[in-house]
């Protein structure tokens, strides 16, 4: 879970980014768009890594079902 400073971030929804969970523009031909989210104070942010969440960009535990 990354600790993020206040600011706007773009979560990668396509899984092609070389920046991991953060968009680097690799989605351009994937048909997917990044999800913008804002952090108002420095905090741990539970971002989804499996990209199966129903609440992007946040982890909702979908990875538990994805591995079963």
* pLDDT value for 58: 97
The pLDDT assigned to 67 comes to 59
Q: Residues 2, 45: contact at Cβ < 8 Å?
A: yes
Pair 44, 2: CB distance under 8 Å: yes
Give per-residue pLDDT as tens, 2-57: 899 999 999 999 999 999 999 999 999 899 999 999 999 999 999 999 999 999 99
DSSP codes joined into one string, 2-66: -EE-SEEEEE-SSS--TTTTB--SGGGGTT---EEEEESSSEE--B-SSS--SSTTB--SHHHHH
Question: pTM of the full predicted structure?
Answer: 0.86
Assigned token pair, 42: 């420095």
């Amino acid at each position: 879970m990354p600790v993020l400073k206040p600011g706007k971030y773009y979560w990668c929804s396509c899984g092609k980014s070389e920046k991991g969970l953060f968009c680097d523009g690799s989605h351009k031909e994937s048909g997917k768009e990044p999800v913008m989210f804002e952090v108002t104070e420095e905090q741990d942010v539970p971002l989804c890594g499996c990209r199966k969440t129903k609440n992007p960009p946040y982890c909702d535990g979908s990875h538990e079902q994805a591995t079963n």
